[in-house]
Amino acid sequence: MAINVKVVERPIEETSYVRATLKGMANTLKHLVGGHRVTTQYPEQRESISRRWRGTHRMLTTEDGKAKCVACGLCPTVCPANCIKLVPGEDEQGNRYPLVFDIDEFRCIFCGYCQEVCPEEAIHLGRHYENAEFNREGFIYDLERLMAQTHPVTEMWDPADPKGE
């Protein structure tokens, strides 16, 4: 069978690297001499982040200060990074609760599945990113630490507002 070769004609302005380079340099020069400044003087100056920003987790608590988690096991099951460790416990009344609930924030990919799947709206990602540590162990957030977080929680995608913000 004969093979046909289709030759696609492309205009010179789409294929000239010289032209593209010059255009890029002109753009740089324009910002160098008169463009508005885009540098943020962090940490003194902070930009606001999206309400849907997914950062450091929080475990929400009940009115009497206990974790809302009922140790159902859904979040460690759905977690694609396998970074949630859950050991369930049960009290005399048969209520389940987490004996151990750890999240490795270093392995986490901040996909948000754990928040989406949680039937108790207990585990949330948060609008927080200043969680640097000096060693990997420091990124393990146990239940107590997750409950002690106070930053705002991440809002999930709203179908009524598909573009978000």
CB 71 within 8 A of CB 16: no
Nearer of residues 24 and 73 to ligand SF4, judged by Cβ: 73
Nearer of residues 40 and 77 to ligand SF4, judged by Cβ: 77
Amino acid found at 41: Q
For the bound state, the minimum distance from the C-beta of residue 85 to ligand SF4, rounded and expressed in Å, comes to 10
The edge-to-edge listing of strands for the beta sheet with 84-90 is 84-90, 96-104, 140-141
Four-CA torsion 44, 47, 51, 54, nearest 10 degrees: -70
For the bound state, the minimum distance from the C-beta of residue 96 to ligand SF4, rounded and expressed in Å, comes to 9
Nearer of residues 34 and 94 to ligand SF4, judged by Cβ: 94
Nearer of residues 108 and 153 to ligand SF4, judged by Cβ: 108
For the bound state, the minimum distance from the C-beta of residue 31 to ligand SF4, rounded and expressed in Å, comes to 36
Binding site for ligand SF4 (CB under 6 A): 69-75, 78-81, 83-84, 86, 103, 108-114, 117-118, 120, 122-123, 125
The sign of the CA dihedral 49, 51, 57, 62 is: positive
Four-CA torsion 83, 87, 91, 93, nearest 10 degrees: 70
